[in-house]
Amino acid sequence: MKKYQKQMAGLLLALSSSVGFTAKAILFDTFGTVVDWRGSMVTSLNQAFKQKKITHIQSEDFADAWAGSYADSIDAINTGEAPFVTVDVLNLRALQKLLETYQVSDKFTQAETEVLAHIWHKLDAWPDAKEGLESLRKSLIVSTLSNGNVKLLVDLSKHNHLTWDMHFSGESMGKYKPEPSVYLAAARMLNLEPEDIILAASHKYDLKAAQALGFKTAYLFRPHEFGETRDGQWPIAGEFDYVAEGIDELSEKLA
């Protein structure tokens, strides 16, 4: 079954619609789309746990729990039930709770916990990111459109030597994707209509939210983002305007 799915995915990756469409800008989700958050976090967590002689925690499980733990907080912020705080704050809060849940909070001082939380600022980019972004910037405005706060995005860019024309962040809008105002604010600041802009992301919910507002969409299929490919990750014909397995491949399709 998996072999068949992979073969189908290979065929679907060749499908791109929007014939004759000329984009003016492309906006990128960051975590999972541009940087390999999970693989990078597992490596850093393994080092931290080894240093603290913690052997009962699987870094993969911890990374997954950490990444997923602030979703409820984002929903509360978007609905107005909670005041806006940055992803850095949410990540630190989530980490503190997880260390308590795993009963290892006593092994880390507050300063060490903050250093551990900072691994989000040092995630490694996917191998295709740098070359792909440089190619796209020759003809398009290329920017992030991420829930990550601006300092986090700047640090990730410096860490990976990535060049952007600008950073659009949920922090600037006081809301988080998939709140419609985040996408529309980016279009407004670019003085462009949504249909002139492509949103590129490895998460379908993000693309569908932008698609509903008139944006063109590019699905970056990252089969190893979560370790093993999840059923919902597989490309579906006609679901989005473009499909690619890397930013470099997307650049070729757009060219």
Distances (CA, A) of 13 to 37, 41, 209: 23, 28, 21
Look up the CATH number of domain 37-122.
1.10.150.240
Residue of 192, 191, 200 lying closest to 144 (CA atoms): 200
pLDDT at 71: 79
Closest by CA to 82, choosing from 95, 71, 92, 67, is 71
What pLDDT digit, counting tens, does each position of 75-101 carry? 999 999 999 999 999 999 999 999 999
pTM of the model: 0.90
Is 35 in contact with 49 (CB distance < 8 Å)? Answer: no
Question: Taking the CA of residue 222 as centre, how many other CA atoms within 13 Å lie in the half-sphere pointing to its CB?
Answer: 27
CA 182 to chain centre: 15
Q: Each residue of 188-221: pLDDT tens digit?
A: 999 999 999 999 999 999 999 999 999 999 999 9
Nearest residue to 234 (alpha-carbon basis) of 219, 217, 250: 219
Helices (H) and strands (E) in the chain, counts: 12, 6
pLDDT at 2 over 50: no
Q: Residue 154 has which token pair?
A: 């700047």
**In the chain, what are the domain boundaries?**
2-36+124-254, 37-122
Do 38 and 202 contact (CB within 8 A), yes or no? no
The CATH code that applies to domain 2-36+124-254 is: 3.40.50.1000
Q: How far apart are CA 200 and CA 185, in angstroms?
A: 17
pLDDT for position 230: 85
Alpha helices, DSSP H, located in the chain = 2-12, 37-51, 59-68, 71-78, 87-101, 110-117, 129-136, 150-160, 170-173, 180-189, 204-211, 247-254
